Amino acid sequence: MATAAPPVPEPDDMDCSVCHEQYVQPKLLPCGHLLCHHCLLSWLQSQDQALCPLCRCAIVDPEERGQKSWQDVADGFPTDLAMADLVGAHRLLKQSHSCICGEATATCLCLTCGDLFCESCRKIHLKMKVSKNHTVEDLTSLTADKVAGSQHAACAVHADKTTELFCPTHGESICHLCATSRHRNCPEVKDMEEKVKDARAVLAELAVTLTEGEARLDKAIQQLDAHLAETEKQTKKAVAEIEAVCARLEKSVQDCRHRLNQLAHSACSDVKEAVTETKTCLLQRRGKLTSHKHVVQRVQEAKNRDTVSTMTPVMQTRVGNLDCSVTLPSGAKDISKVTVVIDAKAVTRIEKVLSGLGQTKVMSADFDFVLVPVLSFHDNHGENIVLSNNKQTAERRGSDWDDGIVVASQPMMTNMLYEVSH
């Protein structure tokens, strides 16, 4: 399924929400938002709860927090290399630079070799045999996206070489010289273009998964909004009926009106609260999908091949851990419509039966999506078991024992798939 290309972030979109400056080593949080590495660390150290400053989603699981320092937590989040490339390119374009000759202000940038030139040096550069085919553009016409895409990473071993190959065995981007020396015994060394092509295909699938998840959550949220509107309508109807009955009464009508209005509003308030809480849950999860979708699309459109290659497995893992299905808290199954029913015959006997007048009628609400209780694992588990993802994922770590046992805190449903990693 084709998707529209995401817009290149505007300068304001490159600002950290904590320091309000452009990102420095932007870290990707579980909710999909970004914070500078140093801002994330200071934020975690200054808060009682590790919550995202933008959406208030948990940044770190409480159990994992007890095993790590805040420094380790901040270091453990992946860096959004696509955003880092864009920020670096934007800073480059905003700064005043000198030509490599050191005698004039640079007016253009060579996208091939990355050098800055004045007009005189530009002409010389394009006349030289080794650089006559280079692409040189005016600084005023360049965009951050284009500059970021032109930057090719230098080989970690041979600084004067660019990475044109990728070694799956070691997970490294390498130059041709490394391929014939340090990696000559590796079973498979791929061309970087092939690696990037495969990575972009994976990113396209991730984007589709997130888009479909967004659509399902949007549908569920729309149904909850409709249910809220219907509940409000029923509230108004109930109050109108109560007012009509109370108009026929004399002295005792005021007490009756007060009691019945309280009954109607109280009953509807419970429904509103349940629906609102459920909607908030869905909105948070949808926010996570949207944030990760933006990251995936940004990486997908990134021109830097190393960025695409490095970020793809990170986003595969992250999207794999996200819940793209429409699953609601267990309490959501109790959401019901409320209707106040008044016995018309009782109106004629109102003075005798006033104390018992009025009742609420509860009807089950119809939804197109399945309400599935969230499964979580019990706190009691072996030392070789680690719980994560709000106790929804159990993973067996290295141990002398081959077997591990985890116990669900709720009964498992039939025909339902649960994740236990090992």
Phi, psi of 294 (to 5 degrees): -60, -40
How high is the pLDDT of residue 195?
81
Question: Do 60 and 144 belong to one domain?
Answer: no
In a domain, 179, yes or no: no
How high is the pLDDT of residue 3?
46
Question: Do 334 and 229 belong to one domain?
Answer: yes
Question: Do 266 and 347 belong to one domain?
Answer: yes
- CATH number for position 124: 4.10.640
Residue at which a domain ends, from 316, 340, 364:
364
pTM: 0.54
Residue at which a domain ends, from 341, 364, 387:
364
- Ranges of beta strands (E only) in 80-178 are 108-110, 116-117, 136-138, 165-167, 172-174
In a domain, 222, yes or no: yes
Question: Do 295 and 384 belong to one domain?
Answer: no
287: CB partners within 8 A, 6+ apart? 31, 32, 55, 57
Question: Do 107 and 141 belong to one domain?
Answer: yes
In a domain, 119, yes or no: yes
Amino acid letter, 243: E
In a domain, 103, yes or no: yes
Cα–Cα dist 402/399, whole Å: 7
Cα–Cα dist 109/133, whole Å: 14
- Ranges of beta strands (E only) in 39-123 are 108-110, 116-117
Question: Do 307 and 417 belong to one domain?
Answer: no
Closest CA to 167 of 158, 159, 176: 176
In a domain, 158, yes or no: no
Segments forming the whole domain that contains residue 410: 377-421
Question: Do 43 and 131 belong to one domain?
Answer: no
Question: Do 381 and 360 belong to one domain?
Answer: no
In a domain, 254, yes or no: yes
What stretches in the chain show pLDDT beneath 70?
A: 1-12, 62-66, 149-156, 158-160, 162, 249-251, 253, 256-257, 327-340, 342-344, 346-376, 378-383, 388-393, 396-422
In a domain, 417, yes or no: yes
Question: Do 326 and 252 belong to one domain?
Answer: yes
In a domain, 167, yes or no: no
Tell me what percent of the chain is helix, strand and coil, each rounded to the nearest 5: 45, 15, 40
The answer to whether 264 and 243 are in contact (CB under 8 A) is: no
Length of the chain: 422
Residue at which a domain ends, from 364, 385, 409:
364
Cα–Cα dist 240/134, whole Å: 78
Amino acid letter, 260: L
Question: Do 119 and 53 belong to one domain?
Answer: no
Question: Do 309 and 395 belong to one domain?
Answer: no
| Number of compact structural domains in the chain | 4
How high is the pLDDT of residue 149?
66
Strand partners, 107: none
Question: Do 360 and 249 belong to one domain?
Answer: yes
